Every structure is written in structure tokens, then in C-alpha cells.
Structure 1
């Protein structure tokens, strides 16, 4: 692992940053507040190949790794256009299908992930299970030559703009035990319904409760093996954490850049406020913490792309924790640096508070990450 990104990765970042600047925060916020979608940005990013940088070349992608996709996600967020569905569709869903899908599933889905012509949501969280995947009650029952699914999911992102949802359910394996299984459910499937959840976050992507009521699927809706269990699922959850790290870091960079510009320009006592240590030191601290989080995120991506799933799991959790904490602090300091202006619509930093606060909760809470590190990294007894 090099601590300096390759020229190709740096060129990718520069190109994506240019695309993000073309749209910018005014475009993103207008879409979010008016109930619109960032379709134009998504379509152009797909056409330019940015959404498919991690898809294998034989299926129309760039043949890169999750580190490349994370770079795309971070640069768009740093330009004021954080795309939550990037964390879900090309990262989780495309990665799981590329790793575990049948050849027919790969040929059908991966080229469309690569060019951005398809979006797929991901559904694991349930009202009574939370982060405990062993308590999932969504079930898939063998029914003739197919499956019948029943269950409920909550806080599922982007269902209204997705073509399908990758559901985590439980099916009976060949030994009669219930194990996690993955199913592709078209959003227009009979028996599938979704209800929006009202949120306090300014984002074009909405959250939904999803219901499966006797949804009939063909056998090939199953992704991977019936006995694959958690291994297939974790193939997508580590990229999810890496992408969440990238998004949090990108939002943090955006808030920090706005704060720096304001601190250089704003004068109160005959000198820019950035000259005062009360402003300068917290911004410097924010910069340090963001860079540390980004470095751990790059380590996690490198380990994952090298095939070290165990090492990537630990690093991805640590990176996501670090980035979430850093992003919350930098946005809070951005608001403080702007004073009263930090809560105005014109300056656009106050609205970031909800978005980064979410990063301490999802896709996995800081407490569950601490549980993971305590148990797996430190070898302490399991607490739950």
C-alpha cells in the first residue's frame, strides 16, 4: 500500500471534482427541497463511467476497486453533491452480484450498474432487529420452482428511484436451518409496497418502510448459494462502510473549505477571524481528524481490493467510526465559525448537521463499531 494515490486515482478525483463543481450545492439543495432527484448528475456520472469504476471490465465497468468508487463518492460529496445511492447501488449491490451472482445475473445487472442506467436499493434493517442480522424475520419459503417472501424492512434508501431492491431474508438451507439469503425483488413486484418515512435531513434520497406480502419470485432471484449465509452478505457490508467513510469525509471537506474561506474573509476587529486561535485551532484540528479518517478509509479499501476480507472488516469499521466523528465535529465547527450565518440558508452549512449526524448512526452505529473493536480487535468478552 502506498500512502500516495496513483496518478490514475488522482486523475479520477480531479475529473469527478470537475463534474461535481458543474452541478454544485445549489443544484443538490434545490433538488432536495423541491422533492426532485439528482437524475442529471447520476446520468452524467454513469455516462462518464464514474459509477462503474469498480465493475469488472468484462461487464462494461472500469475494472477498478472499491477504492476507486470511494474516491468518486468522496469528490462528489466534497463538491456539495453527496449521493447516498452511491453507497448502496454500485457499492453494496453491484459488489455482491459481482462476487456471488450467477453468470446470468452478472450479465443482466452489472453493465447497467456500470453505466448508471439502473439503481438498486438494499434492504437489511428491520423494525425489531436493528443491527442484529440474526433476528431478521423476513422469510423466503421455497414455493414450487420459486420463492415466496414475507416481511418488513425499515430505513431503506431510495426505493422510489430504484428498479429493484436487494433484500436480506432468511431461507431454510439444506440442513433445515434458517440462514441469511439475498433476493433481488423488482419494485413493481405484486405484493411489494413501500411507505416514505418523514425525515429531518435535507437529501434528495428518501427513506422508506418496505412490505413484502406473499411476493412470488422465480428461483433465480436468489443471489449466491442458499447455504452462503453471512459470507455473501459481508461482501457488501464492508464496501458500505468504506463508502460511508468516503461520503462523511467528503462532506467534512466541503464544510471545512467553506469555513476556511469565511474565516479568511470575515473581519470583526480589523483582522480576519481566521487569524484568531479560537477559530484557527479548531479548524486545524478538524483538518487533522479528517485526514486521519481518510487514511484509514484508504487502508480499508486497499485491504478489501487485495482480498483481505478479515482485515478490511476491522479497518472499514474503524474508518467509518473515525469519519463519522470527524464529520460531526467539523460541521459543528463550521457552524460556529460562521456565527449566526452558520444557521442561514444562504451559507448552507447548518443543513449539513443532520446529514453528518446520521453518519454516527448508519450504516452501522458507533456503538456497534465499538462493540466490534472491543470483541474482535481487543479480544474482550462479547457484551451482547
Structure 2
């Protein structure tokens, strides 16, 4: 057993730590306050090789392993939680396109994703289909040399700023989960309409709904085989859930580090707050919980790199990573006093941002169902 990172991975981590501290953290709250998606920073991450970590070198990416991708999620999460979508989304989308799309699509889209020139979202969720992704109602009807898409996607990250989306639609409604296909749909196609939400957090991510009204998508924009889209994305969730856990841990760890400095300096009854067990023990509890999640996440990423099963590890990280991170940030906010309840400090925004990922990519209950199916058996599943 070897829990160490390679020399290259340590160098990569140090580079991202410096970048996050110097260029991301000072402006983290700015984009939230202004309601702006900082596309220039997506391009900067492209220059650093972060956007294309799971994209092969021949398509402009870094061709990195999953563990290295996890390092990026953790460190970027410390500086700007919302920019970790450039890691998590692009890793998921990069794998789907690279593993399943035809060569022409790879050459058209992967270099632009890797460079940060294009932002691409993934659209599965619908008003009546979230955890039950197989229950989507959006349809794609093959007519001549196009597919005609109709439906509504909801709760989609980068809906208001995305240049294109991987849309999942029913190509054979009678087949249920086995009748779903995936398409790359440029946002500027006629019939595509995107509307944003007024969310509690994740403001710079531009979450919203995508409406598809007789959208004609060229048949060559089909990803992989018709009716195979569901299996393509289910495997990808095992990666994104691990990365989500690490981006949440990164944000929470940054709040803990900031709070430790605060309680060392702040005096109460003639002594630093850090001398009281009522401060020490909660911080130790949160630190320990986050460390456990972090190493379970890296173990899951290592298993994926080895081609081994990792669904239950992924689901455990997605279930507890956001939960423990929210609890840690909340306590840090309280320890920093009433100023941390204002928008003068980043804790309140981290709390709002991280809560969103207690929902996205599978709720706690959905992930517990995945684990139960694995350790107890499919025949005893509760749904």
C-alpha cells in the first residue's frame, strides 16, 4: 500500500495551491456579488492544463489520471469553489466524448473544452426526473439526417453561460432506461432557450433550465450508439461524485485554516479563543471527518485508474463529503462571529455554494441506495 503522490503530482498540487491563493481566493466573492461567470478564468485554467485533465493529449488535453484530477478539484476548491466545475464537469464530459463520440466530434469539441474556449454542460435532470434519470421525458426523433429534440431540462449547471450541452433524450421511449441517447447540442441552435435561476448559491455557475422546441440536431452529433446514453453517463457519475467530494473538502478545509488563524488571534476573557476546548474539539472533529472523506475519495480515484469497481466508494464520498463540508463551514462561520454572517467574509458564500452539491449528482439518499445495492445485493434493493 502506498499513500504517497508522485513527484509530478506534488509539483502540480503546489502550482495549483499558489494559483488558488494568489489569483482565485482574493476574487472568490466578487463573481457571486456581481452575478458573473468568469470565463477568463476558465481560459486561464485551460492554460494551466486543468480543463483537459481527462482529455487525451492528441485532443489538446493533459491525459492525466484520475488521482491527479482529484488534486485539481481539491486545490481549486480552496480558492474558488465554483471554478471547480471546470474540473468536475470537464472531466465527466471529456470522458463521455472521448470514450463514445465519433472522431469528428472529438476533434471539434475536445480541444475547445480543454482550452477553456468553450464551456459545455451536461443535461439529464428534468422537472419530473432527477434521481430517477431513466424517467426523463425529453424525446429525440430521427428524421432524415437530423434528430428532432423536444423537452425541458432543469437544474442544469452552466445553463446560462454554456456554449453547448450534452443532452440526454429518449430515442425509444418503450425501452425505458435502455432507450436513452446522448447528443451534443450547441446552445445557439434554433429552438434552444436557456433561462437562469435565482439560486441560493453557485451564482457564477449559471444554473437554469434548457427548453428544447423542435431542435434539429445533425445525426453526426449523436454520441456513441443510439439508445446507449444511460449506461455512458452512469459510469461517469462514479468519477464526478469523487471529484465533488474533493471540491467540497477543499472549500471546507480553507474555511478551517482561516478559522484557526482567527481563533489564535481573537481574545476572550484574556486568552485566545484557541485555548478553549469548546473551540478546539469541534475544529478537530471537522478536520478528522474531512480527512477521512479526502482519503476515501483518493482511494476511489485510484481504483478507477486501476479499472477496478468503485461505485460504493464514489457514493460514500458524494453522500458524506458535502454533508461534512457544510457542517464544518457552518461551524467556522459561527466561530468567526457576526462578521462572518456578513458578505465581508467568504464563509457565508462557501456555505451557500457547498449546500448545492448536497443535491447535485445524486442526493444522500440516492447514494445510500447505490451502496446498499452493492453490499446487500441487487435483489434486496428498495426501489
- The TM-score by the shorter chain falls in which range? over 0.9
On the 8 A contact 1:112/1:118 being kept in 2, the answer is yes
Structure 1 partner of 2:162: 162
Structure 2 partner of 1:315: 313
Counterparts of 1:177 and 1:314 in 2: how far apart (Å)?
21
On the 8 A contact 1:89/1:119 being kept in 2, the answer is no
Counterparts of 1:371 and 1:224 in 2: how far apart (Å)?
28
SS of the residue 2:179 aligns to: strand
The Cα of 1:174 is off from its aligned counterpart by 12
On the 8 A contact 1:38/1:204 being kept in 2, the answer is yes
Question: Structure 1 pair 118/136, CA: closer, same or farther in 2 (3 Å)?
Answer: same
Question: Structure 1 pair 41/8, CA: closer, same or farther in 2 (3 Å)?
Answer: same
On the 8 A contact 1:29/1:203 being kept in 2, the answer is no
The Cα of 1:347 is off from its aligned counterpart by 2.6
Stretch of structure 1 that moved more, 144-153 or 49-58: 49-58
Instruction: Give the TM-score, by structure 1 length.
Output: 0.94
- Structure 1, unaligned stretches of length 5 or more? none
Instruction: Give the TM-score, by structure 2 length.
Output: 0.94
Counterparts of 1:190 and 1:8 in 2: how far apart (Å)?
45
Alignment of 1:227-376 (within 5 A): 227-308=227-308, 311-376=309-374
Alignment of 1:83-102 (within 5 A): 83-87=83-87, 89-102=89-102
The Cα of 1:34 is off from its aligned counterpart by 0.9
Alignment of 1:88-237 (within 5 A): 89-172=89-172, 179-201=179-201, 203-237=203-237
On the 8 A contact 1:196/1:209 being kept in 2, the answer is yes
Counterparts of 1:359 and 1:339 in 2: how far apart (Å)?
25
On the 8 A contact 1:53/1:64 being kept in 2, the answer is yes
On the 8 A contact 2:238/2:310 being kept in 1, the answer is yes
The Cα of 1:51 is off from its aligned counterpart by 1.6
Aligned residue pairs, count: 382
Q: 1:314-338, CA deviations, whole angstroms, 9 ceiling, x for partnerless residues?
A: 2111111121121011111101211
The Cα of 1:2 is off from its aligned counterpart by 2.7
Counterparts of 1:227 and 1:237 in 2: how far apart (Å)?
18
Structure 1 partner of 2:8: 8
SS of the residue 1:350 aligns to: helix
SS of the residue 2:337 aligns to: helix
Counterparts of 1:253 and 1:177 in 2: how far apart (Å)?
39
Q: 1:320-378, CA deviations, whole angstroms, 9 ceiling, x for partnerless residues?
A: 11211210111111012112232122232122222222222222100111122122222
The Cα of 1:97 is off from its aligned counterpart by 0.5
On the 8 A contact 2:77/2:84 being kept in 1, the answer is no
Structure 2 partner of 1:383: 382
RMSD across aligned positions (CA): 2.0
Question: Structure 1 pair 87/364, CA: closer, same or farther in 2 (3 Å)?
Answer: farther
Counterparts of 1:336 and 1:317 in 2: how far apart (Å)?
29
- Structure 2, unaligned stretches of length 5 or more? none
Moved over 3 A (4+): 173-178
